[in-house]
Structure 1
Amino acid sequence: MRGALLVAGTSSDAGKSVLVAGICRWLARQGVRVAPFKAQNMSNNSAVTVEGGEIGRAQATQARAAGLEPSVRFNPVLLKPGSDRSSQVVLLGKPVGTLRDYRQRDFGATVLSTLDGLRRDFDVVVCEGAGSPAEVNLRDGDVANMGLARAADLPVLVVGDIDRGGVLAHLFGTLAVLGPADQAMIQAFVVNKFRGDRGLLQPGLDWLTGATGRPVLGVLPWREELWLDTEDSLSYAADGVIGRPPPPHGDQWLRVAVVRLPRISNATDVEALACEPGVAVRFVTEPSRLTDADLVVVPGSKSTVDDLRWLRERGFADALVRSDVPVVGICGGFQMLGTRIVDHVESGAGAAAGLGLLDLDVEFEQEKTLARPVGTAFGHPVSGYEIHHGRVVRQAAPGLVERPDGSFEGAVTDRVMGTHWHGLLDNDAFRRHVLRWAAARAGRAGFVPAPDTSVAAARAAQLDVLGDLVAAHLDTGELVRLIERGPERDLPHLVVTTT
């Protein structure tokens, strides 16, 4: 079996990432050497690869679904928004500058050469589009959706989210607004997040096939347990609950408030807490939400100084300084907890006062730290990954993690922990220590961390669920034929008329 496929979506968060992961998992189970690929991603949730580069977190998850280590080849272009009008450009894993308009750069040659290499090295490459191919205002210079499909001769499968409503119009309209050559690449549809009686939906699916000449390859049901490793910011709603934690292992809940920064990055760090029985994790945008929290997490940020200013404007800074609630800061959030930040790189703001909860100073450097370190914390072996420009240049607070060379990373006091390491809470024994610490400070003697929660096992189980959904609810025979044969270009063309 050899070939490739592009999974496009009617919108962001329609289900492209999970469908690609599910197809990769299903193919890998069949013994197929499969790799994921996203030409161009725009996200502040990223991961560090085996080469020491940076890619979108969704592609790292898809790599794990395929049984691979994350590689820069799976996401050659990553755009990390620092504001509404500018993004840092990460090319083949390394930052190469900032764009105020991503169309200023032509990434086509890099994208196509990387995809060609993957197609030589793997039996199948499952590509993920970006946003929606129906964004006709962005069609010129497109390298992620129909531009990629036509340049690489990829059959396109379009997925739509029925939970939002209007999925038939979304699927039909996505096809209809495209030009004839782009329409010819779209071969089939998939409906995602369906709940209810399939029989009630079937007449609509029959109409869609009749109107477009393209089949619906399957309807994927809604599954509540699929929430880990969410990349899209739409999934991190303000004042929204993360995950669906089981009841407490003891007789009390522990309440965690995660500050929903405007430029939040790697928000997936806190998902490990939400895996724990009896731990209720919520994003918050108002300081009043901190009054009943047992633990506050200040997560990473793609614009640390700007988000620190936002903390002050919203009243979070005063609330955190005056409160006794324990605080964990991660990456940008860690930097905000210090005494002073000097940033001539990310924001150009120069010196800014931190919150002063940790006695340390941070300076930003041009070269970004990208690493997958290991160490020991509270007697437990830990690992994580680093993605940051800021470096600690003065520190009086005790270190949190001891590295193998005897140096320390992060900081810890009776009330505050901070680290540059993303993924530190994924370490099960370390996470349980943090929960016991927070519960003790909050006076929640009835909270007992579960002794056997494994975040790695939870993530692997979700990938297995995705593979099971593909096997049970997609026409896998037609999926394989589509991958092997490529696009059929004689499908009906829809004509949109305007008056």
Structure 2
Amino acid sequence: MTSDAGKTVVVTGLCRAFARRGIAVAPYKAQNMSNNSMVVLDGSRDGRQSDLLDLRDRFATSSTNDGYGEIGRAQWVQALAAGVEPEVAMNPVLLKPGSDRRSHVVRMGRPDGEIAARDFTAGRERLAESAFAAFDDLRSRFDLVVAEGAGSPAEINLRASDYVNMGLARHGDVPTIVVGDIDRGGWFASAYGTLMLLDAADQALVKGFVVNKFRGDVDLLRPGLADLETRTGRPTYGVLPWHPDLWLDSEDALDLSGRRSVEGARRVAVVRLPRISNFTDVDALGLEP
């Protein structure tokens, strides 16, 4: 329902759960807006993840970057959870913010110019084509594709050009689960309001809800969940607990304030720039005694 609601964690968990059941599953996110990226094989070069130890250095120093591409770190982690090779089709569009109104575009793993805020609607048609083609490609090769949305599916000002949330769901007839962060408060209003803001065709694809980051007694939540199901005709499939010690590579800097080190750890200071890139690289330092 929002950015940082925990969609990435939910998709990561689902990928691992399906993989453990013997299902060939792949993660997918049509568009990431993130300065946290990973370098992967782009499919034009043979190799396995074990060959990628020095991939970032080679990618940075190569003039052509042949055989390599960039995706968001979140989809890289999700692919590892699924037990499959990370590839550019799992995140076909990566927008790297360069300012409040302009982002660098990485399309199918390769730099592809820039996009400005004023171009955000009209300029996304070619990005949508790449995103849909990548989704269709993954679905042809895997038993199941678990697709993660971005932000909120009820961003009605962007719906006409959307290819990440309900636009993707409509393209692929994808059953959709709305994940919300109850720790922020207002979860019921957000769940109900998100559904009500969608048009009828989009609503038909929404199958239910997931409560994320819950602390407390779940029995106190149950009457509200029952009421929500009565009002919307859709169940809440799960209530996921708050896990402050769960560290996964973050998509954006919204998660920075929640990162902490183990008790008694040596302090490491990192300059928090406005558009800090790959800040998850330093996470491991927070676990050192």
Q: TM-score, normalised by structure 2?
A: 0.87
- Aligned-partner SS, 2:105: strand
- Aligned-partner SS, 2:221: helix
Give CA-to-partner distance per residue, 1:253-274, whole Å, 9 cap, x none: 5221111101101110110101
* Structure 2 counterparts to residues 62-461 of structure 1, below 5 A: 62-100=78-116, 101-103=119-121, 104-106=123-125, 107-237=127-257, 242-245=259-262, 247-248=263-264, 253-277=265-289
Q: Which amino acid aligns with 2:36?
A: N
Q: Which residue of 2 aligns with 1:16?
A: 7
Q: Which amino acid aligns with 1:223?
A: H
Structure 2 distance, partners of 1:26, 1:267, is 28
Structure 2 distance, partners of 1:264, 1:81, is 10
1:141 is displaced (CA, Å) by 1.0
Does the aligned pair in 2 maintain the 1:34–1:66 contact within 8 Å?
yes
Identify, as 1 or 2, the structure richer in helix: 2
Structure 1 distance, partners of 2:136, 2:202, is 21
Does the aligned pair in 1 maintain the 2:266–2:288 contact within 8 Å?
no
Structure 2 distance, partners of 1:204, 1:105, is 39
Extract unaligned runs of 5+ from structure 1: 1-9, 278-499
Q: Which residue of 1 aligns with 2:71?
A: 55
Q: Which amino acid aligns with 1:158?
A: V
Q: Which residue of 2 aligns with 1:320?
A: none
Structure 1 distance, partners of 2:214, 2:152, is 20
- Aligned-partner SS, 2:239: strand
Q: Which amino acid aligns with 1:84?
A: D
Structure 1 distance, partners of 2:34, 2:120, is 13
1:69 is displaced (CA, Å) by 2.2
Q: Which amino acid aligns with 2:149?
A: G
Q: Which amino acid aligns with 2:95?
A: L
Percent identity of equivalent pairs: 60
- Aligned-partner SS, 2:160: coil
Q: Which amino acid aligns with 1:20?
A: V
1:55 is displaced (CA, Å) by 0.5
Q: Which amino acid aligns with 1:68?
A: V
Does the aligned pair in 1 maintain the 2:70–2:109 contact within 8 Å?
yes
Q: Which residue of 2 aligns with 1:358?
A: none
1:66 is displaced (CA, Å) by 0.3
Structure 1 distance, partners of 2:261, 2:189, is 31
1:114 is displaced (CA, Å) by 1.1
Does the aligned pair in 1 maintain the 2:212–2:240 contact within 8 Å?
yes
Structure 1 distance, partners of 2:22, 2:120, is 38
Does the aligned pair in 2 maintain the 1:228–1:243 contact within 8 Å?
no
Structure 1 distance, partners of 2:215, 2:288, is 27
Q: Alignment partner for residue 28 of structure 1, among 19, 26, 29?
A: 19
Extract unaligned runs of 5+ from structure 2: 43-67
Give CA-to-partner distance per residue, 1:446-470, whole Å, 9 cap, x none: xxxxxxxxxxxxxxxxxxxxxxxxx
Structure 1 distance, partners of 2:26, 2:168, is 17
Does the aligned pair in 1 maintain the 2:124–2:161 contact within 8 Å?
no
Q: Which amino acid aligns with 1:17?
A: T
Q: Which amino acid aligns with 2:70?
A: E
Q: TM-score, normalised by structure 1?
A: 0.51
- Aligned-partner SS, 1:170: helix
1:108 is displaced (CA, Å) by 2.2
Structure 2 distance, partners of 1:162, 1:72, is 32
- The structure showing larger relative contact order (alpha-carbon pairs under 8 Å, at least 6 residues apart) is 2
Query: Which stretches of structure 1, 4 residues or longer, exceed 3 Å deviation after superposition?
Result: none
1:129 is displaced (CA, Å) by 0.4
Structure 1 distance, partners of 2:208, 2:252, is 24
**Larger gyration radius, structure 1 or structure 2:** 1
Structure 2 distance, partners of 1:105, 1:231, is 21
The CA RMSD measured in Å over matched residues stands at: 1.2
Q: Which amino acid aligns with 1:15?
A: G
**1:40 correspondence with 2:57:** no
1:243 is displaced (CA, Å) by 2.9
Identify, as 1 or 2, the structure richer in strand: 1
1:42 is displaced (CA, Å) by 0.8
